[in-house]
Structure 1
Amino acid sequence: MMSTKPLYSFRFEHFQMEIPYTTYTLHLYPPWTYIISYGSGLFYMFLILIIFPFLSSKLSTQAKNSFAKIHHTLLFVYSFISFISTLYYLLDTNEIRNWSKFLCSPIPSWLRLISITFTLSKIWEWLDTAILIWKGYSLSKIGFLHIYHHATTFLLFLCAMNFPGAEKSGMLLNGFVHTLMYYHFAFRLPKFLRPLITTLQIVQLLTVTYVWHIVPSSCPADQHFPKKNFVEFLLPYLIVPVYSLFFFKFFIEQYLLSPSTVKTESSSNKKE
């Protein structure tokens, strides 16, 4: 029987996900759970070290520029759809005014479909790095934040989907930030608005981490998650503070220490 609140449970020992609007449940066990999670980061490194540089020599400048424009435009549109869909759901269910329901109520099938694609879009975003490499940027110029971010966000969102509150927060806040960010990459925002993107990045990271932290103490269904699934619960605490630290560093260097000069777009060119 199809569920109106599809099951999602990412554990390294057993990954279960009901596919919305079907009777099929995906089951994965080790080593596949490790391959799709940790392995995704290793595959990303392989792409940026070998495949993307190789393709750079095979593509014309016009092809690279056209690809970048289409890629950023599509991610802008997709991010907006994810954000506005989540906002609509929160308004329609009144969860936007009911903190307990926001944190604890599982999402319906139609929104789970968007959530699944949102997590998969973290792999799509690897092409951000390809575009920078094709523009002639070295990995050192692209920077640690960009590379670390892209290598770990897919794993992060696999974990975040375990908690309804974190799942909704990710689509809502990250979707909104990415709407602004990819609009900027595709069409350019006014210079004075660029610090806003980094500020919102930091705010959404801190907010979603707070939501992740309080769900077990706020939602009976998840109260035993930290003890039973310690590694899965710990991972966001290991990943997100690194993002936050380097976003703070980026913001200070770009907008406080030298406000008159906005350095290369590479450093800002991705972030969550």
Structure 2
Amino acid sequence: MYNITVFIFSTLKHLVETLLTISPTFQTLHYYLVKHPRVHNFEWHQGQTFGSSVTFLTLTILLYLTLTFLLSRRHTSSSPSSTVVIPPSLLRLLTAAHNTFLLSLSAAMALGCTLTILTTLPDVHNLICFPVGTVPKGPLFFWAHVFYLSKIYEYVDTLLIILSSSASRRLSFLHVYHHATVVVMCYISLHTAQSMYPGILVTNSAVHVVMYLYYLMCSLGKRPTWKKLVTDCQIVQFYSSFGIMALIFYYHFTGEGCSGIWGWCFDSVFIASLLFLFLDFHTKTYQSKKEVNGDGNGNGVVDDGGSGKAVKQA
């Protein structure tokens, strides 16, 4: 498998280098996503970079959990006067704008981090195993920082679910657990300069492009026939994450060590717990659909019938 990875990496690297020599458009894209001073000179300074303090992280998560609890209770209260009412047309507009933004941001993160990997790292080994003592700076960690902040912005997903109808049925433990904990994973991985974290970022962002495209179409009133593809992509991402974790483990304990092993430990536990919960959710949902429809065309995406929201993955 390693040889296949090396071949794919080398092929893509050669392709990108060729495009950089013949395409002015690609050169411009590369400049703004990799070489721009704000991107190229990025440095993560504990307690100084926006969002880099433990206090910020803790308060952000506590605020999310508190507001989620209070708003969901208020919205599902039996008293009409305690419910926040937003016209369906406005809610759909807000949801469409939200999905469009995250679709665009996910595409930018996937492309920006991919270009950085292929133009700044000499070989795939430097991606799998950062040297011990690696400092989180440069374009790779710029995109890791954007990725971390994007997970905080994704708290809006929860708000939109609460504001939509029948919120109590769809605001699951898996949804809240994922949104609260994935921010911790991103923070630790960024702070410890975790090896292969950019690979996870690219994979996750690419899946989010598919996912938010589906949600955007739902919010516009168009039901795609490929919503099961979203779930399949999510599950493939989970399993690929374990492959990434295994590679880091191998290189860390058979070589001179890899940067961010404590981040690796947290990620392994978190991804395992998320995979267990998601597979349990997917099995129940798929089986339920199969029993109702009798055609085996169930899926693991919880559709809300309005905003197109569903359980998200890490």
User: Which category describes the TM-score, using the shorter chain as reference length?
Assistant: 0.7 to 0.9
Per-residue CA shift, 1:94-151, capped at 9, x if unaligned? 76xx431221247872332222111111011011111111112334532121111111
User: Higher Cα Rg: structure 1 or 2?
Assistant: 2
- In structure 2, the CA distance between the partners of 1:218 and 1:85, relative to structure 1 (3 Å rule), is same
Residue 182 (structure 1) aligned to one of 188, 196, 212: 212
The answer to whether 1:201 aligns with 2:228 is no
TM-superposed deviation, 1:64: 2.0
Residue 242 (structure 1) aligned to one of 250, 253, 273: 273
Residue 155 (structure 2) aligned to one of 126, 138, 142: 126
- In structure 2, the CA distance between the partners of 1:83 and 1:56, relative to structure 1 (3 Å rule), is farther
Indicate if the aligned counterparts of 1:80 and 1:176 stay in contact, CA closer than 8 A: yes
**Structure 1 portions without partners, runs of 5+:** 1-18
TM-score by length of 2: 0.66
- In structure 2, the CA distance between the partners of 1:100 and 1:39, relative to structure 1 (3 Å rule), is same
Within 1, Cα distance between the matches of 2:257 and 2:114? 24
Q: Percent identity?
A: 17
Indicate if the aligned counterparts of 1:149 and 1:243 stay in contact, CA closer than 8 A: yes
Structure showing the higher strand proportion among its residues: 1
Within 2, Cα distance between the matches of 1:87 and 1:72? 22
1:87 matched residue in structure 2? 114
2:125 matched residue in structure 1? 100
Indicate if the aligned counterparts of 1:195 and 1:251 stay in contact, CA closer than 8 A: no
- Aligned residue for 2:165, secondary structure, equals coil
2:84 matched residue in structure 1? 57
Residue 100 (structure 2) aligned to one of 43, 67, 73: 73
- In structure 2, the CA distance between the partners of 1:264 and 1:236, relative to structure 1 (3 Å rule), is closer
- In structure 2, the CA distance between the partners of 1:256 and 1:25, relative to structure 1 (3 Å rule), is closer
Report the count of equivalent residues: 246
Residue 48 (structure 1) aligned to one of 55, 62, 68: 68
1:27 matched residue in structure 2? 46
TM-score by length of 1: 0.74
Indicate if the aligned counterparts of 2:195 and 2:248 stay in contact, CA closer than 8 A: yes
- In structure 2, the CA distance between the partners of 1:93 and 1:110, relative to structure 1 (3 Å rule), is closer
Within 2, Cα distance between the matches of 1:202 and 1:118? 20
The answer to whether 1:160 aligns with 2:189 is yes
The answer to whether 1:271 aligns with 2:285 is no
